[in-house]
Amino acid sequence: HYSFFPDRPRWPPGTTQLTYAFLPENQLSDAVKGVFSRAFERWSEVTAFTFVETASFYDADLKIAFFGGDHGDGEPFDGVMGTLAHAFAPPAGRFHLDGDENWVIDGNFLGAAASVAAVDLESVAVHEIGHLLGLGHSSVEEAIMYPTISSSTRKVELANDDIMGIQELY
């Protein structure tokens, strides 16, 4: 079953558009940006939200950045595997990904050679966007918000449990 963060933080009622931006220094390719755009689409299909990319990182509601190791928010990344990414409850909008992971995009390894310890970027993005919108973890194994995923697994479809959770919150 789905859950929320303590005190149920959420984006203000009536919010229909959330902007997002990528940290310019990361210089992400269109292929990588497209992964996030598809991940946002999953949630916009079941909510009133539309997600619009904006060029201004500092003005964006949702700020997406890849960092390695300690990056100044008290939750350092840990290299390959372990923590893959983290996102903070509304209205923080911070979405950080561990730049040291071997990220997989559409089945292709990004940067690294084929590795056993690889992580599907789109799957992680769909999960973290759930957190950005206010969902906690779910006890339902099929749910996107279930707190574990096996290495290299692609899991991008929202389960009924995810949809019920987000629709209860908004």
Task: Give the active site residues.
Answer: 128
52 token code pair? 């619009």
Q: Using DSSP bridges, classify how beta strands 50-53 and 62-67 pair: parallel, antiparallel or unpaired.
A: unpaired
Q: How far is the CB of 135 from Zn ion (least distance, A)?
A: 8
Q: How far is the CB of 12 from ligand TQI (least distance, A)?
A: 20
Give the CB-nearest residue to ligand TQI: 149
Q: How far is the CB of 18 from Zn ion (least distance, A)?
A: 19
**Is-contact 103 139, C-beta < 8 A?**
no
Per partner kind, with CB cut-offs from 5 to 8 A, the member of Zn ion, ligand TQI, none near residue 73 is Zn ion
Per partner kind, with CB cut-offs from 5 to 8 A, the member of ligand TQI, Zn ion, none near residue 136 is ligand TQI
* Residue 96 touching Zn ion (CB under 5 A): yes
Closer by beta carbon to Zn ion, 16 or else 73: 73
Q: DSSP string spanning 21-68?
A: EE-GGG---HHHHHHHHHHHHHHHTTSS-EEEE-S-TTT-SEEEEEE-
Give the CB-nearest residue to Zn ion: 96
Closer by beta carbon to ligand TQI, 18 or else 126: 126
Where would I find the beta strands (DSSP E) of the chain?
17-22, 50-53, 62-67, 85-87, 94-98, 102-105, 108-109, 118-120
Site of interaction with ligand TQI (CB under 6 A): 83-86, 123-124, 127-128, 131, 136, 147-149
